Structure 1
């Protein structure tokens, strides 16, 4: 199995309990009840929820003291949750509250969070200031989020290419993506993922023609974004021995 927890322990821990994990091998994910179907979020640890809630309560304090009321009953209505948008696109307190609601649903990279706030109708300058403040207090941490995505991908048996694509989809900065993927590569995470995939395919295809088994393994490895060199070595080890 992939020792991704050991990998993340080696390369750092969250600033504020802000870690998401794999829905397969790294613990139970949060329910998939996100704000909308186009969510760019990521599952987070249940055992980190309390710490994050305390921090978010602190961040909400200023908004509550301002005397403004917040609309919370919109529910999941997609990216364009309201055709009218916020009553005041430059209202920083309302923008902060919207950001916290998004983070309550799932962790996000700073770029993804900024994009969602702008799509909701908030002024980009105001939204950028809100996201910057959330980074300062540790509620948004791109580096830890990127590593959590790597662990999530490892649990799904994705390879290096597949993981980079997922990081890009989550709006993680390209340079940071390459950094955390490089760390995972050096730790052998993607080799372990490919071996786990190979053993899974071998078990599912036991008794079938050898060429069929190889073909299905290569197809699965390609879809998961694994290196052909890694797939070749594993194919020889798993299926040539049977031959």
Structure 2
């Protein structure tokens, strides 16, 4: 994920050679947040998304659809809409974050009704994908509030990285996890790995470095794997056909229209 995420300007010669950049001077929290935020679109993002879940018994379920995200003056909003499988074609999920408040809505074509999602339901798997609303929020909207602490540096797969720990604000009702340990690539300023804790190790997000590409001068992830350590299932997340900072229909983010906007 989410969406998890989940930039840094680098020397063109290093990019052309396909080599990791040299270990950068240690960043402080402010510099890291600015670096991560620079990878987010200025206004909006639309992507095609495929979620392929494999459960503990080996059963595979694949969901295909589109993801829409838009920045607002007082927050952000996002919509996930599915086109496959057939029994979920037309299903949609809406996320609204405004002035620190978060609201979630779901539409299922089988019942032809929008309902608001509250309480523990927000933590449940979306459409059997293995990802919760919290996961998508992390994947696509980054980390807000709380505290980031640098805990080390090193190399991962030959790439220079820093390790950071994120502790959310204790009074934030919108955070499912109580701790995130992040491995952040020095060159891309993207998390290559995130360990998510809920009292105990809960989930692990791993980015495929070969899938990272530049879109409009920003680094973007094309493939990641989310492992649920409790349920023993994995979800492969594939993102493609990025459309960044292009106008999106306002209806995509309205609770009474998000599932049918064009």
Q: TM-score, normalised by structure 1?
A: 0.24
> Which of the pair is proportionally richer in helix?
1
Q: TM-score, normalised by structure 2?
A: 0.23
Tell which structure's C-alpha radius of gyration is larger. Answer: 1
